[in-house]
A = this chain, B = another copy of it.
């Protein structure tokens, strides 16, 4: 028997089925990366310093909401985007920061396909609206992000 390497087939718009759920990660979030991100992009005391953070609504050091979005994006990129015909996204429908992301949390992302539709203007493209939820170890939802991706259609399957 010959051993062959089996690659996951590249994902096209047709492969995103309504209601499909996928989970990506885990990834351990460290204090060091929380503070480094905040120092560069969101230098508010609640993201930089334990003592200052304890006096805020966060009740202790927690990641910037933008850091949450960026970690989520990285996990999606590794999880499926780089193996897809993704053409990017025109924006983000909504972000909700529900619970603080603390140092030492092991996060995952759960992605659910909310809607798929063909593009009216581009026969080589379809749209996939997804809900991405950041989870902690106890499956508590820390944040949600809703966004619509532009996906290339499968060659040969185009109208």
Residue ranges of A at the interface with B (Cβ–Cβ < 8 Å)? 40-44, 46, 56-58, 64-66, 69-71, 73-74, 77, 81-82, 86-97, 143, 150
Nearest B residue to A87, CB-CB: B57
Shortest A2–chain B CB gap in Å is: 32
What is the total number of copies of this protein in its complex?
Answer: 2
Option from B89, B92, B97 in Cβ contact (under 8 Å) with A89: B97
* Cross-interface CB contact of A91 among B40, B42, B90, B97, cutoff 8 Å: B97
CB distance from A111 to the nearest CB of B (A): 16
**Contact A93:B94 (CB < 8 A) given known A41-B73, A42-B77:** yes
| A19–B140 CA distance with the chains assembled, in angstroms | 38
CB of A46 within 8 A of CB of B92, answer: no
Closest chain B residue to A88 by CB distance?
A: B57
Whether B82 pairs with A43 at a CB distance below 8 angstroms is yes
Contact A77 B40 (CB under 8 A): no
A97: B residues at CB distance < 8 A = 88-91
Given contacts A64-B73, A65-B92, A93-B94, 18 further A-B contacts (CB under 8 A): A40-B70, A40-B74, A41-B70, A42-B70, A42-B77, A43-B77, A44-B82, A56-B88, A57-B150, A65-B91, A66-B66, A66-B69, A66-B70, A69-B69, A90-B96, A91-B94, A92-B95, A94-B94
